[in-house]
Chains A and B, each alone.
Chain A
Amino acid sequence: MQLNEYQLLFYLHALYEFANEVSKRRNVEDVLKSMLSTVVGTFAIRKGMVLTSHSGDSGFDLVTHQHLEPSAVERVSQQLSEGIQDNLEEVSGLVKLSSPVKNADTLSTIRELMASAGMTTVIVLRVQGKLNAYVGLGEMLRGTPFYEHQIELLNAVTSHTEVALENALFCQDIIQENQQLKEALHKRYRFDNIIGQSAKMQEIYQRIQQIAGYANYSVLISGESGTGKELIARAIYHHSPRKDKKFIAINCAALPQTLVESQLFGHEKGIFTGATDTRKGFFEVAEGGTIFLDEIAEMPTETQAKLLRVLDRKEFMRLGESNVRTADVRVIAATNRDLKEALADGHLRGDLFFRFDIKIHTPPLRDRKEDIPLLVDAFLEKIAQENQHPVQEMSPQGLKLLMDYHWPGNVRELENVLLEANMVSEGNAIRTKDIHLSQDELQTAIQEGLSLKDSVERFKQMMIEKALNDCEGNRSKAATQLGMSRQNLQNMIKRMNTT
């Protein structure tokens, strides 16, 4: 058959369109859909279908079809579900289903299956060691076999499809690998809701994993406010055998001192004014689970002694009761006080401190600044999710500002700063003008451009004021805290007129 210029152009255009279309496809199914659609349209074929078998998988999938009756689709799917093994290794290219084939069980089965759906020809596409695809084609409207030039065009489409399939499989491998790497990174730099890639945080993750399994070990977590002590307590709980039982978090500083004991251990009816009923304490409620005592150094020392008994002997008594009860509870406590100071000034009993099996210290954010970019990304993503808007990006200048700041409020402060910045920012990125950091005296001094001498003076003044506050005005104690003599402190106070 001789082609005229319109027809030749139609074929060339079909090939061009196919090449253009298929080059954009990144998965096997889309490549095969595109190929079948092109072949069916270009040669005016009544119907077509594509089966694939992936190496390593058993059986075939019906990936796509064109103009196939629903009953035929159902029949083919039913036959495929019965399980056909693909052992075809040598055949490729165009195979007329009416011609005899040397192989093999597979092609005979495919022939039978395709013929039952009205196919007369099959094109076998192979991506070595990964995928076989069988493109079944029904009769052309013309009703004749393919002409020579049509076969040439089909071969060109077939070769191109094989390359596109290879690329798509390669692309899928890369996407999968990328996903696995992301998951690995995620696991490495996150532990539950704790985020950080720094060596200090890696140590903490390791420590949590080591101790979580020891369900009876008590833990004392120390660290400044906002460093994530409760997150660590919760991570220990989630990875422990007690994870299916209760987790009760109590802020000891928030409990009225007179009620702490009854809240923790419970009380009998009438033991004090207002005790109208017998009541279980948190240790009973948390039975089998985990109790988290935040700000434990604010707990009265008498109550700390009773807590020591729980840790030591697993025993406690309700207020007003003479029966000794047993507590099967893991205790995790936390304090934002400096442990040495807390022990020295009596806020934390030494015997209780030493009774905790495990101690963990959470580093302040200023000591792990390399985690800031990771934390910023995580918080911005969280904020976007909670507010259902696109994730805001942090500008490089904004990130530099955050990296340079000393973060007295630690990770909690960072989260709050980002919440505000996200709210006031315009556009897709957070800029320095959107970031409002709290200005302490020292920072103000720097920003005001004070001389070194004046800045040092202001710093000394701050230190003395803090020591006097900490020591409730006791100058001897304040002098000890500052590492100077009382007389020296007196002189400085006089000079600065801070009294």
Chain B
Amino acid sequence: MESENQVTLRERCGIPIIEISGTVSGSIEKDLLAAHKSACQSQNILIKFVEHGRIYSSGINALIKLVAEAEKRGQKIHATGLSDHFFHIFSLTALTKYIHVSPSEEEALDVLKRGCCREGR
């Protein structure tokens, strides 16, 4: 199984962005959950997929765990940067029901900011 991947955490416009680079497999779980823990104060989290590799069932397993953790805290997960391949797997597994997918980082941030403003009013 390919294992070249990297999980990093950054912030833009007050939104934590977890960037997953490369293959989405079970090996991202530890870093993914650690990144989520660091961002757990935020109401919204954006996951950005870059330099896509494959997506494996063990990677889906890690994302389910993230969704469950976010649900516990009442957080919303957004995602962007999905390739066609990733998008079809997200549809198959119904992750799209729990993760709001945007075509780009800018659009995802727009959606989040608007949501924040609305919620703020």
Contacts and interface: CB of A to CB of B under 8 A. Distances in A.
Interface residues of A, number: 23
Contacts of A38: 57-58
Interface in A1-51: 3-4, 6-7, 10, 13-14, 17, 37-38, 40-46
Contacts, number: 69
Interface string B83-100: 011001101111101100
A66 B92 contact: no
A10 B26 contact: no
B60 A41 contact: yes
A70 to B, nearest CB: 12
Contacts of A141: 64, 67, 93-95, 97-98
Interface in B59-111: 59-61, 64-65, 67-68, 84-85, 88-89, 91-95, 97-98
Interface residues on B, range: 20 to 34
A40 B94 contact: no
Contacts of A3: 92
A47 to B, nearest CB: 8
A67 B94 contact: no
B interface: dominant SS: helix
Interface string B28-40: 0000000000000
B94 A41 contact: no
Interface in A53-111: 66-67
B55 interface: yes
A13 B2 CA distance: 12
Interface string A386-428: 0000000000000000000000000000000000000000000
Contacts of B98: 141
A41 to B, nearest CB: 3
Contact of A142 (B84, B85, B93): B93
A140 B1 contact: no
Contact of B88 (A6, A45, A140, A143): A6
Contacts of B67: 141
A38 B65 CA distance: 14
Given A3-B92, A6-B84, A7-B92, A44 B60 contact: yes
Of all A-B residue pairs in the complex, the 8 with the closest CB atoms, nearest first, are A41-B57, A41-B61, A44-B93, A142-B94, A6-B88, A42-B57, A141-B94, A14-B57
Interface of B: 1, 26, 54-61, 64-65, 67-68, 84-85, 88-89, 91-95, 97-98
12 contacts: A6-B85, A6-B89, A7-B88, A7-B92, A10-B57, A38-B58, A41-B56, A43-B93, A141-B94, A141-B95, A142-B93, A142-B94
Given A14-B56, A41-B57, 12 more contacts: A4-B88, A10-B88, A10-B89, A13-B56, A13-B57, A37-B61, A40-B61, A40-B64, A41-B56, A42-B60, A142-B94, A143-B97
